[in-house]
């Protein structure tokens, strides 16, 4: 691990593992069958989400748990022929610092981290499974956010910034949850990159129907995070459907699948549509960060935005490419070509995210310095610290 630098490092992508009652603590027991329940199959516990057993995660109790960055060598192409299952065999009882903030702060001190954004592990997967029941989405994520506030808080010691999950399934619900999050001193909110499934069918998140929500985001100056999750993308018959469907019962992908690209497809579509819907023209104080969606979609997106900007000068008030660069921040996968991302976005719009402690993340957050060693010290500092400090600050209009 690289030595700690002489400035505060801010990790844009850390995760907790949800407590066993994260989805049930604040849901009326009579309504849990529509939301999230536990079941046991062949001695293993699973979540039942909206009446269906979820296999999105093979071990939702998270104990024992594979160690952080277990797949680092595999993703780096340096696993010496070992497959993913072999690399994940080293497991441990779930540590306290995955479950509660005081222990996490001590771990952050050991790691050389000053601050971090904190996101769900399971929470980003369940809206898709509940989208047919809009009331259940509201019940589940209102309860989930109350659990998160109780167990982690939204600005713990001004170092750990957990992000309430917002669904746009219902406008009044989204605005209400946003107002509650702002009152609870949240610095960021998170949503999945997907269309909003409403009582009137799917709508783009940038549809004018949602203007009251974006107006409040604009007024409060709170960062909006679009984080990888289950966006419901179809493989059109090329691969099994469902999040994690390409993995076996042991959690290992046996062969390549086009499903591996669904995360980046979802991010590209979400970010592009926010430009097409002119959200940032109507609400110029909205700041959007793409976290754990990768960045390999950027060359294609930039080509398309550049072409569209030339063809539709009558539609856009500003160059759509420059609008994107002003309002969007990108956290690349650690294995992406980060130099390319900086070329596209500029050094002020790229933020470091380790995905710790997930298996596909970095073993230690500051290992990220190895991936940006080619940059000069001033750009390294922007990526590792300054950009996130700015983005994390509320900037009321």
DSSP states along 54-119: --SSS-TT--SEEPTTTTHHHHTT-STT--HHHHT--EEPPPGGGT-HHHHHHHHHHHT-SEEEEE
Q: Is 96 a member of any domain?
A: no
Rounded CA separation 138/177 (Å):
10
Q: Is 5 a member of any domain?
A: no
Strands 160-162 and 36-41: unpaired
pLDDT average, residue stretch 236-255 = 64
Q: Is 75 a member of any domain?
A: no
Q: Is 35 a member of any domain?
A: no
Mean per-residue pLDDT of the chain: 93
Q: Residue 238: which pLDDT band, with cuts at 50, 70 and 90?
A: confident
- Residues with Cβ within 8 Å of 378's Cβ and at least 6 positions away in sequence, in order, are none
- What are the structure tokens assigned to 106, written together? 């001590």
- The pLDDT assigned to 56 comes to 85
pLDDT tens for 81-121 read: 777 777 888 899 999 999 999 999 999 999 999 999 999 99
Rounded CA separation 363/75 (Å):
12
Q: Indicate the range of 51-55, 339-343, 382-386 predicted with least confidence.
A: 51-55
Residue pair 341/2 in contact by the 8 Å Cβ criterion: no
Contacts of 18-22 spanning 24+ positions with Cβ under 8 A: 18/60, 18/62, 18/120, 18/121, 18/122, 18/123, 19/99, 19/147, 19/151, 20/61, 21/147, 22/122, 22/123, 22/144, 22/147, 22/148, 22/151
- The pLDDT assigned to 1 comes to 47
- The pLDDT assigned to 246 comes to 54
Give the torsion sign (CA, 373, 377, 383, 389). positive
Is pLDDT above 90 for 245?
no
Q: Is 25 a member of any domain?
A: no
- The pLDDT assigned to 147 comes to 98
Omega prior to 95 cis, within 30 of 0: no
Q: Is 4 a member of any domain?
A: no
pLDDT tens for 265-311 read: 999 999 999 999 999 999 999 999 999 999 999 999 999 999 999 99
**Domain count of the fold of the chain:** 1
Rounded CA separation 280/320 (Å):
10
Q: Is 1 a member of any domain?
A: no
Rounded CA separation 49/132 (Å):
12
Rounded CA separation 185/337 (Å):
35
Q: Is 79 a member of any domain?
A: no
Rounded CA separation 334/343 (Å):
16
Q: Indicate the range of 149-153, 311-315, 339-343 predicted with least confidence.
A: 311-315
Share of the chain above pLDDT 70, in %: 96
Q: Burial of 67 by CB count in 10 Å (0-12 exposed, 13-18 middle, 19+ buried)?
A: middle
CATH number at residue 107: 3.20.20.140
Tokens 């959007």 — which residue? 288
Output the CA angle 288-289-292, nearest 5 degrees: 145
Q: Residue 24: which pLDDT band, with cuts at 50, 70 and 90?
A: very high
Q: Residue 262: which pLDDT band, with cuts at 50, 70 and 90?
A: confident
Range of the domain at 369: 10-16+101-392
């Amino acid at each position: 691990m690289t030595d700690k630098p002489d400035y505060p490092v801010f990790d844009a992508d850390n995760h907790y593992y949800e407590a066993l009652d994260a989805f049930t603590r604040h849901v009326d027991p009579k309504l849990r069958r529509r939301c999230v329940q536990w079941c046991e199959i062949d001695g293993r516990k699973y979540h039942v989400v909206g009446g269906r057993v979820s296999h999105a995660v093979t071990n939702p109790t998270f104990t024992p748990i594979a160690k952080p960055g277990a797949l680092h060598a595999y993703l780096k192409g340096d696993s010496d022929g070992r497959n993913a299952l072999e690399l994940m065999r080293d497991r441990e009882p779930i540590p306290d610092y995955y479950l509660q903030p005081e222990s996490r702060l001590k771990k952050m001190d050991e790691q050389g981290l000053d601050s971090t954004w904190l996101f769900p592990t399971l929470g980003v997967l369940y809206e898709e499974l509940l989208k047919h029941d809009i009331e259940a989405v509201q019940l589940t994520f209102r309860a989930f956010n109350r659990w998160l506030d109780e167990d982690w808080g939204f600005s713990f010691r001004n170092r750990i910034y957990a992000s309430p999950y917002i669904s746009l399934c219902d406008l009044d619900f989204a605005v209400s949850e946003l107002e509650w999050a702002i009152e609870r001193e949240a610095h960021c909110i998170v949503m999945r990159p997907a269309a909003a499934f409403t009582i009137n069918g799917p709508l783009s998140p940038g549809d004018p129907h949602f203007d009251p929500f974006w107006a409040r985001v604009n007024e409060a100056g709170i960062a909006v995070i679009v984080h990888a999750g289950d966006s419901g993308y179809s493989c059109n018959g090329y691969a099994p459907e469902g999040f994690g469907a390409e993995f076996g019962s042991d959690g290992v992908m046996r062969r390549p699948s086009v499903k591996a690209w669904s995360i980046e497809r979802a991010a590209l579509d979400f970010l592009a549509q926010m430009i097409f819907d002119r959200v940032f023209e109507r609400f110029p104080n909205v700041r959007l960060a793409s976290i754990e969606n990768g960045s390999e979609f950027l060359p294609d997106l930039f080509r398309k935005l550049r072409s569209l900007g030339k063809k539709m000068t009558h539609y856009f008030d500003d160059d759509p490419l420059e609008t994107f660069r002003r309002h969007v921040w990108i956290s690349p996968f650690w294995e992406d070509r980060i130099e390319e991302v900086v070329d596209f976005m500029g050094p002020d719009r790229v933020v470091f995210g380790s995905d710790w402690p997930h298996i596909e993340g970095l073993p230690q957050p500051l290992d990220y310095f190895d991936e940006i060693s080619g940059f000069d010290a001033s750009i390294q500092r922007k990526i590792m610290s300054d950009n996130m400090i700015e983005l994390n600050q509320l900037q009321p209009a």
